[in-house]
Chains A and B, each alone.
Chain A
């Protein structure tokens, strides 16, 4: 394969689309260019200094709630929504800016990949204000670390505990439930299996991971008490927005998960199970397959999956060796354009390739929404789907073309697509597309054609 073809795969499939000059930097050693990005800790999000932490956000939200309640106001939810919306927009724009400007785009893509693996969705109002902080605090610092640490950071993060309803989940024999049943309260506290189920099905073992409803229920019991501080009423203890193990919600006694007995140990009971899940063979296979699906092909080749899984086992879940196995698999480089870009990929690569100036305050969000992928809103804990069939519907293709034309019209003659095309796609730019760019009626039209081309639709 020509050097620029391999570099085009490195920058587009593994990166977020080649910026001007990036292809030349990657061309001498595309693999090495990717591996170099994995050295050192993951970069913090540029602009993070201006963004609030989860603890601060949830403390402020608690204060809004308490003030409103004291004043007897009815608009509590509305007030918190008004506080959350600009936080969300600010987070999306900071993330967008980072994706467009990053010089370690492979790491940035990995942040997006893991955030989607451990998806929260802002269509649940409680998550809107903290989705960005969640990605910065729980995902980003761990993408170059160990899977187990990533898993713990996620399952202990307030955003996930709120999203999957574990904050108030109480064991039927917990101290709080027993007291409540005596007091005949209106809402008996009880078990919520949502988090336990999705950890097993989505975060670790996978849907075919061989667990039963009984496993879900007993794992949910082990996780009772995994909560956050500063709730209402009997959950007032602790600092708002910080993980808190609430012993009084915890179901006492030993539990069975996947045939193994976990003695009662408070927080440590669930933690021990989580550590075992991080090493379970089904988890390793699930993660390897998902990575290979994202980076190689919708139907990932078994050889590559096996290689990635082997690296995971050999290095006890350290992720950098896992990524190295992915990059070094022959299949990852064999077929150009094997992946149809998701809308967010499409937007990032267009902005990077054409060095499009920042489109205003909500520019990133508007683009994502127009193309059908509003950030952190997959609508379910499964995250955004990752196959072409999920994204290449007729109407979606047309919308992409319409967006390409809007970009073309905006840039006009300020970019030369006949130069940008080869700089973005190298030897992978097809002859007929190159010809169409040369013969375009205007600079704007050439840009539209480049962004609409079959080569640019894929990575």
Chain B
């Protein structure tokens, strides 16, 4: 199906076609315009605060003063379904949910079952089963498995927003990185001389070339590079940059950035408080990201994930400790959303993992594999092999992306 069909014609035609034909069409459609953003929430986001299971009979008792009140109550959760709500700070995510553009997953975990942040992040980012399995990340290896980009596109199919490249994005595929600079632009002549100076240094010459490349795009986008201020603007510049890179026709297909501060051992707060403020800043950033993506939003999938969840019960210091099952979010115009994806294990004492944590019932890799396959068209063989090595038994979740 190589001829051009506009969207309206397609809808009319597709309505009368059997499912298989529609699938063929979807796969024939160039994947090149699809965009994927991965946002890593470092520190173990409390899934029972972000996506409170208000309908679970054990929830309020376990969480005590940290419990988010049910929908309808003062400071109550924003209703998702009979069991789950969203934290009241997540107004934009709730709008997206109602528009069918947010899928919430719960009781999710990587294969990691201990409780070290650093090892947990290593497993999540490396895409392996044990810590330190891999010195490269799953998202980079997914990029490496994509066919070469068409002429006219930038060489790098991925970009890491931030001063350095997280493990998720390190590996064989060339990846750009960008972060706002508060210093003035370099003198051209000095830059040329430094480029010469780096000629015999493969690492530094590569880094410098990548950085200059990324900066050029940012300048074309007319981005404001003023210093950031205040919690609300915490991620503002990063998401505006991500959006303007991804919005370009020849821009990268994949972007990643990370956020910190989710490790809420003490005084976590409930409907209001420190975690609520941070969630609000994240929600605002996602709203800005949608605005910056502009028309590209409809072809975008954004995943927010964390290394593991937190204890089901409040601890002795009005916070929560390291746990297991977590919440994850899949957001974007390309998402088949408006639903909660959870084989909810419940919070009763017997249902908890090791009598303390939300028991994981969904492998995060199944979610990621489904998205990488259906949205970026990463071949199944690569997903089972290089991207998430040895994950053949972990079946991708189907139907996450709009056909």
A contact set with B: CB distance below 8 Å: 123, 164-165, 168-170, 177, 186-194, 197, 201, 207, 213, 216, 370, 372, 379-380, 382, 388-399, 401-403, 405-406, 432-433, 436, 440-441, 445, 448-449, 452-454, 457
Determine if B183 is an interface residue (Cβ-Cβ < 8 Å): yes
Contact (Cβ within 8 A) B211 A405: no
The docked-state distance in angstroms from the alpha carbon of A38 to that of B335 is 61
Query: From DSSP, what is the main secondary structure of chain B's interface residues?
Result: loop
Determine if B94 is an interface residue (Cβ-Cβ < 8 Å): no
The docked-state distance in angstroms from the alpha carbon of A415 to that of B204 is 26
For residue A394, which residues in chain B have a CB less than 8 angstroms away from its CB? 165, 176-178, 206-211, 214
Say yes or no: A397-B261 contact (C-beta < 8 A), given A197-B115, A380-B43. Answer: no
For residue A201, which residues in chain B have a CB less than 8 angstroms away from its CB? 116, 118
Contact (Cβ within 8 A) B163 A168: no
For residue B212, which residues in chain A have a CB less than 8 angstroms away from its CB? 398
Quick one: which of A169, A216, A382, A390 contacts B317, CB cutoff 8 A? A169
What are 7 of the A-B contact pairs (CB < 8 Å)? A177-B316, A193-B315, A197-B116, A370-B183, A394-B176, A399-B163, A433-B197
Quick one: which of A123, A216, A401 contacts B208, CB cutoff 8 A? A401
Quick one: which of B176, B260, B354 contacts A379, CB cutoff 8 A? B260
The docked-state distance in angstroms from the alpha carbon of A242 to that of B217 is 53
For residue B198, which residues in chain A have a CB less than 8 angstroms away from its CB? 454
B28-36, B79-87, B185-193, B339-347 - interface stretch:
B185-193
Contact (Cβ within 8 A) A397 B189: no
Say yes or no: A191-B214 contact (C-beta < 8 A), given A213-B114, A382-B117. Answer: no
Give the nearest-CB partner of A162 in chain B. B266
Contact (Cβ within 8 A) B316 A436: no
Interface residues in B182-237 by Cβ distance below 8 A to A read: 182-187, 189-191, 193-194, 196-198, 200-201, 203-204, 206-212, 214-215
Say yes or no: A193-B321 contact (C-beta < 8 A), given A398-B215, A401-B208. Answer: yes
Minimum-distance CB pairs A-B, first 10? A190-B316, A393-B164, A398-B211, A394-B210, A394-B211, A402-B183, A397-B207, A395-B179, A396-B163, A454-B201
Determine if B154 is an interface residue (Cβ-Cβ < 8 Å): no
Say yes or no: A445-B117 contact (C-beta < 8 A), given A168-B317, A169-B316, A402-B183. Answer: no
**Chain A nearest CB: distance from B213 CB in Å?**
8
The docked-state distance in angstroms from the alpha carbon of A445 to that of B190 is 7
Interface residues in B277-319 by Cβ distance below 8 A to A read: 314-319
Give the nearest-CB partner of A397 in chain B. B207
For residue B43, which residues in chain A have a CB less than 8 angstroms away from its CB? 380
For residue A449, which residues in chain B have a CB less than 8 angstroms away from its CB? 190, 193-194, 197
The docked-state distance in angstroms from the alpha carbon of A382 to that of B114 is 16
Query: From DSSP, what is the main secondary structure of chain A's interface residues?
Result: helix
Contact (Cβ within 8 A) B316 A445: no
Contact (Cβ within 8 A) B260 A380: yes
The docked-state distance in angstroms from the alpha carbon of A374 to that of B209 is 26
Quick one: which of B64, B116, B319, B321 contacts A207, CB cutoff 8 A? B116
For residue B319, which residues in chain A have a CB less than 8 angstroms away from its CB? 165, 192
Determine if B263 is an interface residue (Cβ-Cβ < 8 Å): yes
**Given A165-B317, A191-B316, A440-B193, list of 9 further CB < 8 A pairs?**
A186-B65, A370-B183, A380-B263, A395-B214, A396-B163, A397-B208, A401-B208, A405-B186, A448-B190
**Chain A nearest CB: distance from B151 CB in Å?**
23
Contact (Cβ within 8 A) B162 A401: no
Contact (Cβ within 8 A) B208 A399: no
Contact (Cβ within 8 A) B196 A436: yes
Contact (Cβ within 8 A) A402 B316: no
For residue A170, which residues in chain B have a CB less than 8 angstroms away from its CB? 316
Contact (Cβ within 8 A) B194 A402: no
**Chain A nearest CB: distance from B276 CB in Å?**
15
**Chain B nearest CB: distance from A46 CB in Å?**
30
Contact (Cβ within 8 A) A165 B318: no
Determine if B250 is an interface residue (Cβ-Cβ < 8 Å): no
Give the nearest-CB partner of A187 in chain B. B318
**Chain B nearest CB: distance from A208 CB in Å?**
8
**Chain B nearest CB: distance from A390 CB in Å?**
6
Interface string of B318-339 (1 = CB under 8 A from A): 1101100000000000000000
Determine if B363 is an interface residue (Cβ-Cβ < 8 Å): no
The docked-state distance in angstroms from the alpha carbon of A187 to that of B318 is 7
Determine if B67 is an interface residue (Cβ-Cβ < 8 Å): no
Contact (Cβ within 8 A) B118 A457: no
Determine if B181 is an interface residue (Cβ-Cβ < 8 Å): yes
For residue A372, which residues in chain B have a CB less than 8 angstroms away from its CB? 163-164
Contact (Cβ within 8 A) B170 A452: no
Give the nearest-CB partner of B274 in chain A. A125
For residue A380, which residues in chain B have a CB less than 8 angstroms away from its CB? 42-43, 117-118, 260, 263
**Chain B nearest CB: distance from A36 CB in Å?**
34
**Chain A nearest CB: distance from B132 CB in Å?**
9
For residue A403, which residues in chain B have a CB less than 8 angstroms away from its CB? 183
For residue B255, which residues in chain A have a CB less than 8 angstroms away from its CB? none
Contact (Cβ within 8 A) A192 B315: yes
Contact (Cβ within 8 A) A192 B321: yes
The docked-state distance in angstroms from the alpha carbon of A194 to that of B181 is 35
